[in-house]
Amino acid sequence: MEILILILHVFCGAAGLAIGLGAFASKKRKGLHTLLGNIYRWLFLILSLSAIALSLLNWERLWWFLLIALFSYAFALVGFLAAKLKWRNWLRFHLTGQAGSFIAMATAVLVVNFGSGNIFIWFLPSILGTPIIIWLARQIKAGKRPKYS
């Protein structure tokens, strides 16, 4: 059973990275962007649930998966809900939530593939992604980006 959960987890992570890049690259309007965003949301939910299951099955070794899964999914959920419910300043929340969840996913892929002992690998996605998020959020605040309302 554990191997099936792991396969599902790896599939959702790989698909989530591809779909997330597609959503980021697509025009920000109803259509492809929202379709890819919905797929990303479901993939991230399954990814997080599988991480929780893996942590519970291997608690001694993977207890920290539970925390990462919850916090990462919180980013994705905030990003989704901000756009769906059109909160005040929803676009900045949407951007931060979706990009934050993508950074978490990219971090996991790098750590698994290039070693958890390299602290630089743990921070590389944040080092690269955070300035982009800040720049885009400032563009939105300054009205230089579409409101997408």
Output the pLDDT for position 81.
96
What's this model's pTM, rounded to 2 decimal places? 0.87
Output the pLDDT for position 145.
67
Distance CA 27, CA 52 (A): 33
In the chain, the amino acid numbered 32 is L
Mean pLDDT by 10 residues, the chain (149 residues): 96 96 87 94 97 96 92 96 93 93 94 84 93 88 65
Report yes or no: 23 and 37 within 8 Å, Cβ to Cβ.
yes
Distance CA 58, CA 41 (A): 26
Helices of type H across the chain: 2-25, 32-57, 59-85, 90-114, 119-141
